[in-house]
Amino acid sequence: MAAETASGYIQHHLQNLTFGQLPTGGWGFAHTAAEAKAMGFWAFHVDTLGWSVALGLIFVLIFRMAAKKATSGQPGALQNFVEVLIEFVDGSVKDTFHGRNPLIAPLALTIFVWVFLMNAIDLVPVDWIPKLAAMISGDHHLVFRAVATTDPNATLGMSLSVFALIIFYSIKVKGIGGFIGELTLHPFGSKNIFLQALLIPVNFLLEFVTLVAKPISLALRLFGNMYAGELVFILIAVMFGSGLLWLSGLGVVLQWAWAVFHILIITLQAFIFMMLSIVYLSMAHEENH
């Protein structure tokens, strides 16, 4: 495969199917990366939205099926799997979350399963889903990314949802005064009221950066790991188009080896996203005196 062809192949696989306002004034799909960028803020990554919603529905349907078939007698394989998963998440919440909130365990379960399913699409060979989308649409140049968590818009959207809950429960538990005090009276304090007043801007700067870093770190950690994993799969796929038999054979070995290792990554990243969300929400429920 020529260098420019390999470069075009990689760029094609890293571009989202973007819908937005075209330079002509109408609305439609972008055909190039530059056109997608020109659409600005009100552009929608249709592939990311479609896959995230579809996998969310699959999660709901599987657990609904397990709930409808649940029995106190001898459970089936699906019920066993769901019960083990729920017990695992429930144990993680009990060990980490120190407040009382019936929302946290269901939220943690949703985050873990949903993020895992979105990550797991990365195990599908990189050409299969884009080629299927191209066949269905009739456009052989169609760009289509199936791994929603390789899109920073998706990971940032999820992390901002968790961040909104952090702010909500911080104010609910501590009150608006307590929340503002947490941002302005820590970590440096003084019994001298004038010195404390001088320390407020310093405290606010430190605490505000810490607060804002939570959703950013959640989003970028998941995005960075999944994007790197997807890029490795794409680079391995480039080897198949080299025209060299030995290089294609090496690509097969590397693809299977990376896929096996990547199973650990997709599970670990879902677990980390869930655990950090629990930790941050636990901190939001702590009353500071």
Q: pLDDT value at position 44?
A: 95
* 288 band by pLDDT with thresholds 50, 70 and 90: low
Would you say residue 258 lies in a domain? yes
Would you say residue 289 lies in a domain? no
Q: pLDDT value at position 1?
A: 45
70-74, 132-136, 281-285: range with lowest mean pLDDT: 70-74
Q: pLDDT value at position 161?
A: 96
Would you say residue 230 lies in a domain? yes
Summarised one tens digit per residue, pLDDT across range 12-42 is: 899 999 999 988 888 999 988 888 988 988 8
Would you say residue 18 lies in a domain? no
Would you say residue 126 lies in a domain? yes
State the average pLDDT over residues 179-184.
90
With a pLDDT cut of 90, the percent of the chain lying above it is 67
* 3 band by pLDDT with thresholds 50, 70 and 90: very low
pLDDT: which is higher, 72 or 159: 159
Would you say residue 41 lies in a domain? no
- pLDDT higher than threshold 70 for residue 208: yes
Would you say residue 77 lies in a domain? yes
Summarised one tens digit per residue, pLDDT across range 142-180 is: 899 999 999 999 999 999 999 999 999 999 999 999 999
State the average pLDDT over residues 249-275.
94
Summarised one tens digit per residue, pLDDT across range 52-62 is: 999 999 999 99
Q: pLDDT value at position 29?
A: 92
Question: How many structural domains is the chain composed of?
Answer: 1
29-43, 87-101, 217-231: range with lowest mean pLDDT: 29-43
3-state secondary structure the chain: CCHHHHHHHHHHHCCCCEEEECCCCCEEECCCHHHHHHCCCCCEEHHHHHHHHHHHHHHHHHHHHHHHCCCCCCCCHHHHHHHHHHHHHHHHHHHHCCCCCCCHHHHHHHHHHHHHHHHHHHHCCCCHHHHHHHHHHCCCCCCCCCCHHHCHHHHHHHHHHHHHHHHHHHHHHHHHHHHHHHHHCCCCCCCCHHHHHHHHHHHHHHHHHHHHHHHHHHHHHHHHHHHHHHHHHHHHHHHHCCCCHHHHHHHHHHHHHHHHHHHHHHHHHHHHHHHHHHHHHHHHCCCCC
Catalytically annotated residues: 217, 221, 225
Chain-wide mean pLDDT for the chain? 91
- pLDDT higher than threshold 80 for residue 287: no
Q: pLDDT value at position 249?
A: 83
Domain range for 76 is 58-140+150-284
Would you say residue 269 lies in a domain? yes
